[in-house]
Structure 1
C-alpha cells in the first residue's frame, strides 16, 4: 500500500511537469491551418455549452416580440457582427472563414440556443473564439434587442434584412455597397414613430447632439450600439454631424393616440412637478426658449424612447454629459407611472 501511494504522489508531481515540458518544447502546434483534432473540437464545444447552460439557470427572459427592438440591433449586427458571421445580404469572406474556429452562420445555429443562452453569449462573448463581449455590460436592454433580432434572422431574406438594418442597397455580385450603414439608416425621420426606441435627432440643439456624440465616443454614456457607431467616426467630424441634425426640420406625422388620463398626469408633472418628492417641473429646464442648449428637447420625441431613457436614469445607467447627474436625482423619485405619464405627454406636445 505504501509503495502505491508513493507512485501516485510521484505521478501527480510528474504530470504537470510533463505538461509544462511539452508546452516549453514547442511541439504542440497552434497553427490554425491544421485545424483541431475531432476530440479537441468536441471537448471545447462541450465545455462551452455546459458553461453557458450553467450561467443562464436563473436568467429571466423578457418579452421579445416588440418590433421596436429590431431596427437598432439589426443596424449594429451589420456593422459589428456581419463582418465575421455574414448576413442575408452578404456571405462572410473566405479570410474570416479561415479562422479557428470559423465564425458560424448564425441563421443556422441560433435555433440551437434558448433566448437566455443567446443573451449570455451576446453579452459576455466566448473565450478562445474571437467572439467579443457586448461593448458595455450595463445595457441588458440592448443585448435583449439583439437576441430578439437573432430570433428573426433565420427567416430573413436579403430584402427583409436590408429593410431592418437600414442598408442602402446591394452592389454587384451580391456584395454590400460601400458604407451601407449611415446615421440615417436608423435616425431618418421617415423611419421613426412613437413606438421607436431610436430617438429623433432632427431639431435638437447642436450643443446637446455634440455632447451626446462625444459621450458615446468616450464611453461615458453606455450604449453598445452607439459607442461603436460614434467611436468609428473621426473626432473632428462630430461638430459637423451635430450641426447637420440640429438644422434638420422635424417631419410632421400622425400621433399615436395616448391615454388622455395618462397625458394629463404627464402635463401636471411637466408643468408643476411634485414638491413633496422634490421633482421639479420638467419644463423648468427642458423646451424653454431660454433653456441651457445642452439640455435635450423632449417635445415630440418618441414616447418609447423617452420611457427607456428615464428608466435608465432611474437605474443610474444613463450617464453622459456634464449635466447628466442632474437627471439622476430627479429620475430616482419617479415612479413607473410617472415615467409613462411624462413620456406620453411629451410625445404629444
Structure 2
C-alpha cells in the first residue's frame, strides 16, 4: 500500500482531532488532590532544573554581603514563609494540598548555585505557586534574597527572628502595620552596611511622597510593593506622621575612610566641571525642601545602592526624582562611595553643617576601615 499525501493529511487531521477531543471530554484530571504520575512528576522537575540551569548560564554573581540579609529576611517572612514556612514556624497544613507541595528550603537550597537561585527568585517557576519577583528591574533586591537563601539552611528559630525583626514575632494574620515597618526600619537594626534606610526624623512630605511613589509604581521595589500592598492612603499618611515625629538618634561612630574628604567636598561644593551640584544645596535640612530626604546618618550601603539605582535609571520616587536622576548621571562609583561615606558619618541629630562629622577620636567601632 502506497501512503500518499491524502493519507498523511488525514493522519495529521485525525491526530489533531484526537488531541482536541480528549481534553474536551474532561477525562484528563487536573485535581491537585490526585497528584501527578511518577513519570509526570519526574519529567516536570527534570524540565524545570534543565531550564533553570540553562537560563543561569552567564549570570555574574555579585558579592553577597551581610547587609543584604535583614531586608531580605523581612520580605521572606511577609511574602514567602506563608508557603515555605520558616525556621521559626512550620508552613500551614493547607499548603500540603498544593501541587507541587512547596519544598523544604533547607533541603533544596544547597542543590542550586547562586546564579540558579537568582533565576528562580527573579522569574519564578511556571505550573507552581512560585511567583516572579514583584518588580523585574530591581535585581539588587533579588540578589539580597539570594544572599539570605544561601544563609537559610544554617538558621535556627532565634537567628531567623533576629534577621527578620518584628515581622517574625507576630502572627501572620495580626497585620500590625507599624510593627511590620519596624521589622526592617528599627534604628537598632541599621548599621552602616544595611540596605534599609532610617526613617526617623524624615519630613512628613518626603515620607508621604515616598510611600505614594511605591504604591503607584513610580518607585520600583519588590520588597516595598509587598510591604505596603494592603495599606490605605490614610494609613500611609499616619505612618509618615509617626516616623517624622520619632526622635532622631545619633549614629555609632565608625572610622572614616580616606575618601570622606572627597565626599565632603562634593557634598558642600559639588564639582562644577563635571556638572555635579553640591548635595547640601538640596539636602541640608536647615534650608532644604522638605520633599528631599535627610541623608545624614543613613547607612552608607543604602546611600550607595540608591545612587547606583539613579545612575542605572532604575530609581524612581517623588515629584523631584527627575532632578536627582540628572545629578546622579555624572557620578562615578568612586564619587558614590565617597558621598555615601560622608553622609553616613554625619550626625543626624544635629545635621546642621560639615562640622558635625563624627570626629575620629570618638568611640570608633571595630568595624572601621
> What TM-score results when the alignment is normalised by the length of structure 2?
0.89
Provide closer, same or farther for how the CA distance between residues 343 and 200 of structure 1 changes in structure 2, counting only shifts above 3 A.
same
**What displacement does 1:81 show?**
0.2
Aligned to 2:60: 60
Alignment of 1:43-192 (within 5 A): 43-64=43-64, 66-167=65-166, 178-179=174-175, 182-192=180-190
2:210 to 199, 209, 212: 212
**What displacement does 1:148 show?**
0.8
Aligned to 1:33: 33
Aligned to 2:236: 238
**What displacement does 1:252 show?**
2.2
Query: Is the 1:107–1:153 contact (alpha carbons within 8 Å) kept by the matching residues of 2?
Result: yes
> Does residue 270 of the first structure (1) align with residue 258 of the second (2)?
no
> Does residue 279 of the first structure (1) align with residue 266 of the second (2)?
no
User: How many residues are treated as equivalent by the alignment?
Assistant: 344
Q: Distance in 2 between matches of 1:156 and 1:8?
A: 61
Q: Distance in 1 between matches of 2:102 and 2:169?
A: 23
> Does residue 224 of the first structure (1) align with residue 216 of the second (2)?
no
CA displacement 1:268-313 (0-9 Å, x = unmatched): 1111111112111111111242311000111121111110100000
Secondary structure, counterpart of 2:3 in structure 1: helix
Provide closer, same or farther for how the CA distance between residues 337 and 245 of structure 1 changes in structure 2, counting only shifts above 3 A.
same
Q: Distance in 2 between matches of 1:35 and 1:79?
A: 28
Alignment root-mean-square deviation, CA: 1.8
Query: Is the 1:122–1:133 contact (alpha carbons within 8 Å) kept by the matching residues of 2?
Result: yes
> Does residue 303 of the first structure (1) align with residue 300 of the second (2)?
yes
Query: Is the 2:213–2:219 contact (alpha carbons within 8 Å) kept by the matching residues of 1?
Result: yes
Aligned to 2:254: 256
Provide closer, same or farther for how the CA distance between residues 109 and 335 of structure 1 changes in structure 2, counting only shifts above 3 A.
same
Q: Distance in 2 between matches of 1:125 and 1:164?
A: 24
CA displacement 1:106-148 (0-9 Å, x = unmatched): 1111111111111001000111102111000011111011011
Q: Distance in 1 between matches of 2:17 and 2:76?
A: 45
Q: Distance in 2 between matches of 1:138 and 1:226?
A: 14
Provide closer, same or farther for how the CA distance between residues 20 and 168 of structure 1 changes in structure 2, counting only shifts above 3 A.
closer
Aligned to 1:196: 194
Q: Distance in 1 between matches of 2:118 and 2:34?
A: 32
